[in-house]
Structure 1
C-alpha cells in the first residue's frame, strides 16, 4: 500500500531507541524526511545511520522535553533543513515505577511537565502551519496502562491518561483542517523499557526476569511479545493518506493483551 507521505517532514520524539526509533524508521521507509529527536545525540545518530543504510533520509536534532524553551530553536532548525513539520510523533520516556499513594507532589509535577505539558506545547507549535496547509498528523504514543492500569506504574497510568482526553478534544477541533490526531497504545513490545520493567517486577516478586516474561507471554493471546517494527508500521499507517478518516481514536498494538472492549 502506498501511504502517500513521501517527502513529508516528520518529527519523532524519543527516537534514539525503542518504540521511538521504530516509528522513525517506519516513517523513513515510507519516504518521509525524519527529524530524529531526543536527548542522547549518540543514540539519535545511531537511528539516523540505521535509516540511511535503508536508503531513507533523516537528521538528528537534540530536543529535551524537560526544556520547552528550546523547542522554537529546534523547529526553526528543522524548518531551515526541510520545511515545516507535517507529522508529529509525541513519544516520551516512561516515568519511574511508583505507587498511587505516597509519591511526592514534586515528582507528580515534574513528570507531568515532561510527559504531558511539553508534548501539548510542542503540538501547539506545529499546528498553525499544519492548519494553513490543510494537512497534518499528530500521533501520541502512550501505554496500555491508560486502558488497564498497571500495578506500580501509577505515574504512567495517570499522566498518560490525560493525553487521551487532550488528543480526543484536539481531534475534533482540527479535523476540518485536514489534521488527524490519534493515540497509539502498545502492549508488551520487546524493548529495553519492557525488559527493565520485567527486571524490576522480578526483583519485587523474588523471581527472575525470564520467569516474569514467560508469565507475561502466557497472558497474551498472540503468545509473544510484539516487535518494535510492528508498532512502527502502525504509526506509519496512521500518518498515511489512506488513514485520513481515522481521528480521535485510540489504537491498540497489543497482541490481544488488553481484555476490555
Structure 2
C-alpha cells in the first residue's frame, strides 16, 4: 500500500529507505518495552525522532531526492512524512515486510510504478529480538526457533530479496548504490544483551555486502556495509538513564545520515565498501 498525498515523483532521483522508522521512536516497540509507555519527543530535534532511517530519509529529501519510506505499517511513518514535506521535500510511504517475499515484490512494483527505479537503496531493517527474554533465558538453548527465524529473515534473507529487486536495473544503468545499515554484531560475536546469539545473522549481511561488491562493483553499483557501533540517539534511547548521565555515548543519527550521503556521492575511483561509526568516548569493536 502506498501513501503519496496525491503526488507521484516528478523526475527526481529516487532514494528508498528500507525501515524508515525506528523501534526506538517515541511510540516504538522497544521504547514501550523498556519504558513501559511512549515517551515525549517534543524536546528532540526533528532529525533524531525516527532514528537512523528517519534521519537518512530526511537527508536525501533535503538533497533533492524523492524518498520512499518503507515500513510494515504506514501510520508508523506518517509523522516522518509530514516532517519531510514541511521542509519542502517529496516522499511517499510504501508498506513492506522484509520477512515476506510477496510483500517485498509488491512494494518494489509500487515503487517502480509511482516513483521510478531507485538510484540508492538503504537497507535499514532492524530487530531487537530477545530483548524481552528474562536474563535467565539468555543462552541459545532457551531461544525459540521462531525468534531466530525472524532475525534471519531480517538480516540475511531480506537483503537478498531486496537485492534481487533492485540490482538488475542498477547493473543495466551502470550506476546505483545499495548500502546496509549494520551493527557491531556483524564483526564478531559478543555478549552485550539478552538473546545475543540471535545477532549472528548480521555477519551474513556483512558477507552479502562483500559478495555483492565482488559481483556488481564492476557494473557501476556501489555496495557498502556501514557498521553503526554504538547506541543511536532517538526518543527511546535518549530517555535511558545511562544516556542521560553521559549524552556523549550516543551517535547522532543526523551525522550517520551525512555518512550515508557521503558514501553515495563518492567518486567511483575511490569507493568505500565498509565504514564503521563509533562515538568518541567508547572503544570501537573489531
CA contact (8 A) 2:16 2:69 kept: yes
Deviation at 1:192, TM superposition (A): 4.4
Alignment equivalent of 1:190, drawn from 212, 228, 233: 233
- Structure 1 counterpart of 2:252: 227
Ranges in structure 2 where 5+ consecutive residues have no aligned partner:
1-10, 22-49
Show CA shifts across 1:116-149 (max 9, x none). 2012111111000000000010111111232363
Matched positions, count: 237
- Structure 2 counterpart of 1:255: 279
Deviation at 1:174, TM superposition (A): 0.6
Structure 2: distance between partners of 1:225 and 1:151: 16
Alignment equivalent of 2:263, drawn from 231, 238, 259: 238
CA contact (8 A) 1:36 1:61 kept: yes
Structure 2: distance between partners of 1:52 and 1:242: 30
Taking structure 1 as the reference length, what is the TM-score of the superposition? Answer: 0.81
CA contact (8 A) 2:19 2:126 kept: yes
1:40-51 alignment runs, 5 A limit: 40-51=73-84
Show CA shifts across 1:140-184 (max 9, x none). 111123236351251453121211111011111111111111111
Matched, 1:13 2:18: yes
SS of the residue corresponding to residue 233 of structure 1 reads helix
- Structure 1 counterpart of 2:192: 151
CA contact (8 A) 2:213 2:224 kept: yes
Structure 2: distance between partners of 1:165 and 1:68: 21
Matched, 1:131 2:155: no
CA 1:229 to 1:244, structure 2 compared with 1: closer, same or farther past 3 Å? farther
Structure 1: distance between partners of 2:56 and 2:263: 11
Show CA shifts across 1:192-230 (max 9, x none). 4645xx8xxxxxxxxxx41x3367x49xxxx34221111
Q: Which moved more, 1:175-184 or 1:151-160?
A: 151-160
Structure 1: distance between partners of 2:139 and 2:224: 27
CA contact (8 A) 1:140 1:183 kept: yes
CA 1:100 to 1:248, structure 2 compared with 1: closer, same or farther past 3 Å? farther
CA contact (8 A) 1:145 1:156 kept: no
SS of the residue corresponding to residue 142 of structure 1 reads strand
- Structure 1 counterpart of 2:217: 175
SS of the residue corresponding to residue 52 of structure 1 reads helix
Ranges in structure 1 where 5+ consecutive residues have no aligned partner:
1-5, 199-208
Alignment equivalent of 2:140, drawn from 80, 101, 104: 101
SS of the residue corresponding to residue 85 of structure 2 reads helix
Deviation at 1:40, TM superposition (A): 2.4
CA contact (8 A) 1:237 1:243 kept: no
Taking structure 2 as the reference length, what is the TM-score of the superposition? Answer: 0.75
CA contact (8 A) 1:150 1:157 kept: no
CA contact (8 A) 1:180 1:244 kept: no
CA 1:178 to 1:155, structure 2 compared with 1: closer, same or farther past 3 Å? same
Matched, 1:22 2:63: no
Deviation at 1:69, TM superposition (A): 0.8
